Amino acid sequence: MDSRTGWLKLCKTDLRGANLEFASLRWCTLGGATMPAVLSGARMFGCQFEGAKGAVVGPVFVDEEATRFLGGGELEEWLSTQGAESVQVVG
């Protein structure tokens, strides 16, 4: 957590396969271009991403049944529609 802002920073974090359903990642920094947050296989249904930014590695599951898998540009677009400010998918 950033002591100045109180916002969570997930740089070089491995959340591969994590169940993040309904997690609040609002205003979170999800890694950076050289230290992305690894989210491959994570379940992201219902997550809140308002104001989130950074860089991630996908693909991730985005539906409740964990059958819809998104990566690359599709994941970037999905994150944006969920309120993310600027999250780049780098892998």
Determine the Cα–Cα distance for residues 75 and 6; give it in Å rounded to an integer: 27
Q: Is 61 helix (H, G, I), strand (E, B) or coil?
A: strand
Give the amino acid at 82. Q
pLDDT at 2 over 50: no
Give the pLDDT confidence of 35-88 residue by residue, as tens digits: 999 999 999 999 999 999 999 999 999 999 999 999 999 999 999 999 999 999
pTM over 0.75: yes
Q: Is the CB of residue 74 less than 8 Å from the CB of residue 65?
A: no
Q: What is the pLDDT of residue 11?
A: 72
Q: What is the pLDDT of residue 91?
A: 81
DSSP secondary structure, 10-41, as one string: -TT-B-TT-B-TT-B-TT-EEEETTEEEE-TT
pLDDT at 3 over 60: no
What's the average model confidence in pLDDT over 13-17? 92
Q: What is the DSSP letter of 7?
A: -
pLDDT at 26 over 80: yes
Chain position carrying tokens 């989210």: 39
